[in-house]
Amino acid sequence: GENVEQHPSTLSVQEGDSAVIKCTYSDSASNYFPWYKQELGKRPQLIIDIRSNVGEKKDQRIAVTLNKTAKHFSLHITETQPEDSAVYFCAASKPAGYSTLTFGKGTMLLVSP
Amino acid sequence: NAGVTQTPKFQVLKTGQSMTLQCAQDMNHEYMSWYRQDPGMGLRLIHYSVGAGITDQGEVPNGYNVSRSTTEDFPLRLLSAAPSQTSVYFCASSGGGGDPRTIYFGEGSWLTVV
């Protein structure tokens, strides 16, 4: 089955810095890669996703890049703010109809004012 | 539009007791699933369903049962609770014409087994 590795497990940055979280996946058939943000005590919420037919996707301060050859994808957050502090999870899934998501173990991002 | 609703939010059980975590969605989603979240382990799939009457096992199904008698409801049953089942449980749903792999989580149920 699919295996998703996520690094680092903890990331501390100063407000205004950039943060990068990296994930690798094992199954070359996977073609859908979402990122979820989970604030303390809350549910995970989708913040951005990318499909294997594109190499990069941006949404304001958040971007995701995908390297299919190397089987890795990354989340980039620019101009970090204290409210970006949360646990971030990457995931991978094979082509639809329905295919379950395999999640990484998460990265705790701490943004200090 | 409530989305995915889970009950109860908090529960303490004694070892050997049984209970059911309820999950309901009002988005007409075909797909529903249960995950557990443990520190340092991420989100692991317990069971999932692709439609009423159809269920399948995920990564960590042992000790849990599910059924899907309606499109809206997907309860998770613990038949004989064990301390190893202490965790946060999330129900999720997807579909309704969107990418079925884009899942939406409920608010979670915190379960402690003593």
What's the pLDDT tens digit per position in B65-77? 999 999 999 999 9
What's the pLDDT tens digit per position in B31-63? 999 999 998 888 999 999 999 999 999 999 999
pLDDT at residue number A99: 67
| Residue of A93, A99, A103 with shortest CB distance to B42 | A103
Q: B84: helix, coil or strand?
A: helix
Long-range CB contact pairs, B104-107, < 8 A, 24+: B104/A46, B104/B3, B104/B4, B104/B27, B104/B29, B105/A43, B105/A44, B105/A45, B105/B4, B105/B35, B106/A43, B106/B3, B106/B4, B106/B5, B106/B6, B106/B23, B107/A42, B107/A43, B107/B4, B107/B5, B107/B6, B107/B9
What's the pLDDT tens digit per position in B18-38? 999 999 999 999 999 999 999
Residues of chain B with Cβ-Cβ distance to A42 below 8 Å are 107-108
A104 with B42: Cβ contact below 8 A: yes
Measured in angstroms, the CA of A16 and the nearest CA of chain B are apart by: 27
Give the other-Cβ count within 10 Å of B46's Cβ: 22
Q: Please, are residues B9 and B90 in contact by the beta-carbon 8 Å criterion?
A: no
DSSP per-residue string spanning A56-77: EEEETTEEEEEETTTTEEEEEE
Percent of chain A with pLDDT over 90: 85
pLDDT at residue number B39: 86
What is the greatest pairwise CA distance in chain B?
42
What average pLDDT score do residues A4-11 get? 97
A51 torsion bin: left (phi>0), alpha (psi -120 to 50), beta (else): beta
pLDDT surpassing 90 at residue A97: no
Phi, psi (rounded to 5 degrees) for B84 = -65, -10
B43 with A89: Cβ contact below 8 A: yes
